[in-house]
Amino acid sequence: MTDKKAVVLLSGGLDSATILAQAKAAGFTCYSMGFDYGQRHRAELQAAERVARQLGVVEHKVIGLNLNGIGGSALTDSSIAVPESPTEGIPVTYVPARNTVFLSLALGWAEVLGAHDIFIGVNAVDYSGYPDCRPAFIEAFERVANLATREGVEGCGFRIQAPLQNLSKAQIVEIGVQHGVDYGLTVSCYQADDEGRACGKCESCRLRAAGFSAAGVPDPTRYR
């Protein structure tokens, strides 16, 4: 049997934990990758390590970046407040070029590993207006991946898999529960404290809570 390898972007949040479980259920041997990119808190990095252990990846790699060096986002610049009410347009929690950078590094590792699939938990239904979560972006990046790599030119190429793109948060929760995800290990809050407790007010917290409620699943989130 061919060993199907996949690199899974694992932030430690609800969506990325779900896609990791989906990839495992689809028969992939999974390698997860997270990023210490200068975000507001490290609780999500610790959550990603917990999820990686629970779901049994071969290796969990954390890459250090300095996206706070360019700023421009409430998630990387502490002088910009995280909004606690809905906003119009692209919110200040958008991190410039984040998914482009993350996918590029995952692509490099996938080529080294001989993995042809990269999973990312972007969502175009219950999402926060980020331009790099749209299906058009994922399709465009897959074309770039197959143009810009040796494997894309000489080998079997790459697939960028975003299985949650067209699902509601409730549907995502239901899938994760079916695959045994322990959502109590995850952290989604934009401004969680050092213990990983959520604020319950930011947009990520609101979307997460609404998803559990709509799915009829008890919310395991720890709130401060």
Residue 70 CA to residue 77 CA, distance in Å, equals 9
* Residue 105 among known ligand-binding residues: no
* Residue 185 among known ligand-binding residues: no
* Residue 149 among known ligand-binding residues: no
In angstroms, the Cα distances linking 132 to 96, 140, 144, 157, 158 are 9, 10, 14, 22, 19
Residue 193 CA to residue 201 CA, distance in Å, equals 13
* Residue 17 among known ligand-binding residues: yes
* Residue 45 among known ligand-binding residues: no
Q: Decide: residue 47, CB within 10 A, 0-12 exposed, 13-18 middle, 19+ buried.
A: buried
* Residue 12 among known ligand-binding residues: yes
* Residue 20 among known ligand-binding residues: yes
In angstroms, the Cα distances linking 141 to 49, 102, 148, 198 are 27, 11, 10, 32
* Residue 199 among known ligand-binding residues: yes
* Residue 32 among known ligand-binding residues: no
Residues 21-40 as b/e (b if ≥16 CB within 10 A, e otherwise) read bbbbeeebebbbbbbebbbb
Amino acid at 189: C
* Residue 107 among known ligand-binding residues: no
* Residue 19 among known ligand-binding residues: yes
- Which residues are annotated as part of the binding site for ATP? 10-20
- Which residues are annotated as part of the binding site for Zn(2+)? 189, 199, 202, 205
- Which residues are annotated as part of the binding site? 10-20, 189, 199, 202, 205
